[in-house]
Amino acid sequence: MSRVFAAARRGRTAGAALLGGLALVAGPPQAPDVDALLRRLDDLYRSTSSIARIELAVSGPRVTRTIRLTAWTRGEDEVLVVIEAPPREAGTATLRVGQNLWNYLPRIARTIRVPPSAMLGSWMGTDFTNDDLVKESSLRRDFVARVDRRSDAPAGWWLSLAVKPDVVGRWARIDLLVDDEGLPVEERHFDRRGRLARTLRFDEVQTLGGRRLPTHMTLVPEDGEGRRTEMRYLAIQFDVAISDDTFSLSRLERIR
C-alpha cells in the first residue's frame, strides 16, 4: 500500500522507477548498472513530500468495492491516508509515523494503534497489509541485486533481489522487471520459504504531477483465488509544502 500512497515516500521500486523513468537514458541491450539503478530508484523516489489522490478497487470472488482516498507523505517516515469514499468509511484515516500505525475511526471518534500482531492483517479490507504501510524498506539497503536476464516483451531487464541475511522482512526475494525506460513493469514477491506470494503489475504510463509514471497497479496475491486490489492515481503533487502537524494524532482526530 505504501507505495501507492507514497509516490514520493519510499525507496521501493515503484516509486523510484516512476521518478527515475524520465531521467533514465535507455541503453539496451547493455546491462544496466544495478547499483546505480537501485540508488536512483531508492533516492529519486524520495521526494520531500507528496499529495496523491488514489482510487482502490478491491475485488474478490464474492465482493467488489471501490475506495477513494487522499494520501499525504513527507520523507520516509510520515504518511497520512484519509478515506473519502464510500460514505460508510469516509473520514477514516491511517497515520504512520516511523514504525507506528494508527487508525482513526470517525464513527466512534477513536484513534487506535495497530498492534504488531495485526501488522500482517489486511489494511482496510484490501490485499495490502498494515505491514506494507509501515515497512520502510529500501531496495538498495535491504537487498542484494543482480541483473538476472534480458526481457524482450516488454523490452527491459529482470533484476533479482535477494534479501540481505540480517534484514527482517516478509520477502526473501523480489524479482523485478524494469523496462528500458526505467519504469517498473512487474514485481514478484517471494516469501521466506521461496514461494511466490504475490505479484504487482504496473501499467497505464502517463504524465502525472509532472512525471511520467505507471498510474495503475494491480496486486494479485497467490493464495487469493481470484482476489486482487487495483489502484489508480487520480492526481499527484510532488514537493508541496505540508505542515508539520499533518502527521500528528491531534490532526488525525480533527480530520472531519
Partner 1 sequence: MAGGTTLRIAWRNLWRNRRRTGLALAAIGLSVTLVLAYDAILRAYGDWMVETITGPMVGHVQVHTPGWRTDRAMDRTLEDVSRTVDAIRRDPAVADASARVYAPALAALGDEGFGVVVLGLDAGVESRPMRLLSGATVAPAGRRVLVGRALAELIGIRAGDEIAIVGQGADGSLANDLYTVAALLDTSVDLVNREAVVMDLAEAQALFAMPDAAHEIVVHARDARQVPALLGRLAGSPRLAGAETLDWQALAPELVSLVSLVRVAGFVTLVLVFLAAAAGVANTMLMSTFERTHELGMLLALGVSPARIVRLVLAESVALGLVGALAGAVAGLTLVAITHRTGIDYAALTGTGPSAISFAGLRWSMVFYPRLDMADVLAAVAAVLVTAIAASAWPAARAARLEPADALRD
Q: How far is the CB of 99 from partner 1 (least distance, A)?
A: 15
Q: Which of residues 214-233 bind partner 1 (CB under 8 A)?
A: 223
DSSP code at position 11 = B
Amino acid in the structure at residue 155: A
DSSP string for 57-91: EEE-SS-EEEEEEEEEEETTTEEEEEEEESGGGTT
From 6-14, 28-36, 101-109, 167-175, span contacting partner 1 (CB under 8 A): 101-109
Q: Which of residues 38-77 bind partner 1 (CB under 8 A)?
A: 58, 60, 62-63, 65
In sequence order, the β-bridge partners of residue 217 are 202, 231
Which residue's entry shows cell 501507492?
4
From 9-17, 88-96, 133-141, 195-203, span contacting partner 1 (CB under 8 A): 88-96
Pull the grid cell for residue 129: 497489509
* Cβ contact 64:76 at 8 Å: no
User: Exposure pattern of 149-184 as b/e (b: 16+ CB <10 Å)?
Assistant: eebeeeebbbbbbebeeeeeebbbbbbbbbbbbbbb
Q: Which of residues 102-141 bind partner 1 (CB under 8 A)?
A: 102-103, 105, 107-108, 110-115, 117-118, 121-122, 124-125
- Residue from 2, 13, 73, 92 touching partner 1 (CB under 8 A): that is 92
Q: How many residues bind partner 1 (CB under 8 A)?
A: 27
Q: How far is the CB of 203 from partner 1 (least distance, A)?
A: 24
Q: Which is nearer to partner 1, 26 or 112 (CB)?
A: 112
Q: Give the pairing of strands 143-151 and 110-113.
A: unpaired
Q: How far is the CB of 124 from partner 1 (least distance, A)?
A: 6
Q: Which is nearer to partner 1, 104 or 157 (CB)?
A: 104
Interface with partner 1 (CB under 8 A) = 58, 60, 62-63, 65, 86, 88-89, 92, 102-103, 105, 107-108, 110-115, 117-118, 121-122, 124-125, 223
